[in-house]
Each structure stands twice: as structure tokens, then as C-alpha cells.
Amino acid sequence: MALHRVEMRMVRWMCAVKLQDRVPSKELRGKLEFEDIISVLQRNMLLRYGHVMQKENNDWLKKCMEYEVEGTRPRGRPKKTWREIVEKDCRGRGLNKEDAMDYSRWRKQIGMNDNHDVCECVNISSGTGSSGLSRTNSTEP
């Protein structure tokens, strides 16, 4: 939740909008044409997971992912591992290990575009009174 809060503070800063202006977050995100950071991180983790799953079984990276550490864990709630988070994201999207073997289908199922999500909409310019950011591909005057 803290990551989402920080992201929205940055979006409000880029739009030069204060909380007191009471502008909805969805409207600001739509104005900037941004996707929320949580879904971007999930998608990127699933993309990396797909890369690892497509490797040979004797590849060191795949062995590291499947390695189980022996010994006891410290007291208290255990920290989530990368694999646990990825498996939860896969269950949430209805994916399984076999889906990761077909690269193009995997990318399509996790929502990856082939345009590589290039950000070309922000140009930093100095001397403006607001946030100093403007769209470069905008048709506005």
C-alpha cells in the first residue's frame, strides 16, 4: 500500500495538483496515461519468471530458483519469497508453469505489448511555473 501512496504523490506532483484540489487519482493517472506501478511490477516479475522457466533444467539460474535452503527459519512470520509472490500472481491471473513454455503466448497472457512500454510523453523543461513537465506528443497548444 505504501508503494501505491508514493506513486500517487508523484503523479500529483507531475500534474501540479494538491490533495486539497480533490481531483480523483484515476483522472490524474488517465491524464498522464500511466498504468499503476503494482501491475507493472507484477507483469515484469511474471515476464522474468517466464524467461527462467523456459531455460534448460540444468541451467544454474533455474536451479537457483528451485533450490530449497535447509535449516530452520527464525521465529515469527516468514518473509515471502520471490517464488511465493510469483505463484500468487500466476494464480490470480489463471496461469500455470506450462503456459510459460510458449514465449509469445506467455507474453500475451501477462499483458505485455510488443512496443516495450516506451515512455515518450514527458519532456523536462526549465523555467515553467508549475511542475516543469509537459507532453511532447500532445496536440494541445
Kindly state the greatest CA–CA separation across the chain.
Answer: 64
* pLDDT on residue 125: 41
The domain limits of the chain are 2-33+121-134, 37-67+78-110
User: Cα 1 from chain centroid?
Assistant: 14
Spatial CA neighbour of 13 closest among 131, 119, 120, 121: 131
* pLDDT on residue 114: 55
- Look over the chain and give the mean of its residue pLDDT values, rounded to a whole number: 79
In the chain, count H helices and then E strands. Answer: 6, 2
* pLDDT on residue 115: 52
Residue 123 pLDDT > 60, yes or no? no
pTM of the entire predicted model: 0.65
Q: What nine digits make up the cell of 3?
A: 508503494
Q: What nine digits make up the cell of 46?
A: 511474471
Within 10 Å of residue 100's Cβ, how many Cβ atoms? 21
d(CA 63, CA 58): 7
* pLDDT on residue 113: 66
d(CA 100, CA 110): 10
11-15, 45-49, 81-85, 135-139: the lowest-pLDDT one: 135-139
pLDDT tens digits along 42-100: 999 999 999 998 888 899 988 888 888 888 888 999 888 888 999 999 998 888 888 88
